[in-house]
Structure 1
Amino acid sequence: MNQQLLMMLPGMDPDELAVIQSITRDMTDWEQQQFVAIYKGKRKDQMTMLVLTLIGFLGIAGIQRLIVGDTVLGILYLLTFGFCGIGTIIDIINIKSLTFEYNRKQAMEAANMVHMMRGVQ
């Protein structure tokens, strides 16, 4: 992938970079630009997810789970104050994997959107 495009996605860890490179390997330059434009708007950085998780200690637990699409777990966190803080602590410990999984799904979604646009051209 073009280095200039990668610079538009700051804060990527090596695992996320490997996923992005494998997804965009067979894309043209135009498709890579479209992918980055879509993915940039969808991805979350680890610090944002950490802040959202820490907000759980202020009484609004589960925001991080709602953001990543775990709606049922997010609502349970809200109703139980993050399982009395235990779930929130576990999410803080696992924030890297929680963020990586969310970003991986968003990258796949962005790639699918680019492939659909390819058929429209």
Structure 2
Amino acid sequence: MNMQQGNYMNFQDMTPEEMAFLQQATANLNESQTNYFYMVYSSKRKSAQEIMLFTLLGFVGFAGIHRFVLGQIGMGFVYFFTGGFCAIGTIVDLVNNKSLVLKYNKEMAYDSHRMALMTP
């Protein structure tokens, strides 16, 4: 098992899509850049279970927290002040939880990749 495979195993709820994306992102990095990439990415990455719990809080009066955590501040305020679009938006986000998290994690992987390229 090489070092890159060991880094992938540190993420408990990684989907096959995310793993393929990370393999592609780290393909042209050397070992020190790859290690730096995973250090940065692991600090920014969100898990689907964590976001699902924040989404469920929308049903008890705290709608939109999951949008704030995912960096979507504007939508977070909209959800908060409209009660998660009268709970319909919260239900939709609960169903689309994994795609929201995958989109966020891909953005964080792009950021981490750019940072890793700047290291020697």
TM category, shorter: over 0.9
Structure 1: distance between partners of 2:29 and 2:37? 9
In the other structure, the counterpart of 2:13 is 11
Instruction: Report how far residue 116 of structure 1 moved.
Output: 2.0
Of the three residues 69, 72, 75, the one matched with 1:73 is 75
Q: Kindly provide the CA deviation profile for residues 83-120 of structure 1, in whole angstroms up to 9, marking residues without a partner as x.
A: 110000000010010000000000111111111223xx
Instruction: Report how far residue 67 of structure 1 moved.
Output: 1.4
In the other structure, the counterpart of 2:102 is 100
Of the three residues 33, 36, 40, the one matched with 1:34 is 36
Q: Kindly provide the CA deviation profile for residues 15-70 of structure 1, in whole angstroms up to 9, marking residues without a partner as x.
A: 00011000000111111110111000100111001001001111010011111121
Identity of aligned residues (%): 37
- The answer for unaligned runs of 5 or more in structure 2 is none
| TM-score normalised by the chain length of structure 2 | 0.94
The more displaced of 86-95 and 3-12 is 3-12
How many residues are paired up? Answer: 118
- The answer for unaligned runs of 5 or more in structure 1 is none
| Off by >4 Å, runs of 4+ in structure 1 | none
Structure 2: distance between partners of 1:2 and 1:85? 41
